[in-house]
């Protein structure tokens, strides 16, 4: 009867593996650590003027801190890169940027990993008109669908054993 006791841990293991496989292939564009502040500022200005979403870099934005050229340029470069669907050459900025395979997000500052995601998290955010309200995240909805799919498969596997059988 050890099989039913393994169902819940196996379910969460499969969910965890699915979560990590969703992020496979993701890339981000970040500022090179050896770039000069002057070159980064020029590239940052270009990115923000050419379609990058630089709203989170404003003083009341989620990515304002740390208030450094390096951090702000990384966010703007990535926004520009993602909005151009990671096209070749869209992460160069005169040699001041590089592609990273590790998510540079930190704290409440979430770097977009696709053109659809604008870098906010599922909390209260300020929109372009200045109104404040919740904004859902597409990836959260996607992960919930995967979770429910795994849960329904688990329940179909053996409907005679409850999920809590191994813990109660």
The first and second tokens of residue 116, run together, are: 């659809």
Residue 119: pLDDT band with limits 50, 70, 90: very low
* Arithmetic mean of pLDDT, 115-129: 44
- Quick check: 130 pLDDT over 60? no
Proportion of the chain above pLDDT 90, given as a percent? 52
| Spatial separation of the C-alpha atoms in residues 125 and 113, rounded to whole Å | 19
Residue 115: pLDDT band with limits 50, 70, 90: confident
pLDDT at residue 127, rounded to an integer: 42
Give me the residue spans of the domains in the chain: 26-137
Q: Output the CA torsion 65→66→69→74 (10° steps).
A: -80
Q: What is the pTM of this model?
A: 0.59
**Is the CA virtual torsion 20, 23, 25, 31 positive or negative?**
negative
- Quick check: 114 pLDDT over 50? yes
């Amino acid at each position: 009867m050890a099989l039913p006791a393994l169902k819940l841990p196996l379910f969460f293991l499969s969910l965890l593996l699915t979560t990590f496989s969703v992020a496979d292939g993701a890339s981000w564009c970040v500022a090179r650590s050896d770039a000069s502040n002057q070159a980064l500022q020029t590239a940052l200005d270009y990115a923000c003027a050419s379609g990058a979403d630089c709203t989170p870099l404003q003083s009341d934005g989620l990515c304002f801190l740390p208030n450094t050229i390096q951090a702000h340029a990384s966010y703007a470069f990535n926004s520009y890169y993602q909005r151009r669907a990671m096209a070749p050459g869209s992460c160069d900025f005169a040699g001041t940027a590089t592609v990273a395979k590790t998510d540079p997000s930190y704290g409440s500052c979430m770097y977009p990993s696709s053109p659809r995601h604008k870098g906010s998290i599922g909390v209260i955010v300020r929109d372009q008109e200045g109104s404040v309200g919740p904004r859902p995240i597409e990836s959260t909805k996607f992960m919930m669908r995967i979770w429910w799919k795994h849960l329904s498969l688990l329940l179909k596997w053996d409907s005679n054993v409850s999920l809590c059988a191994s813990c109660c």
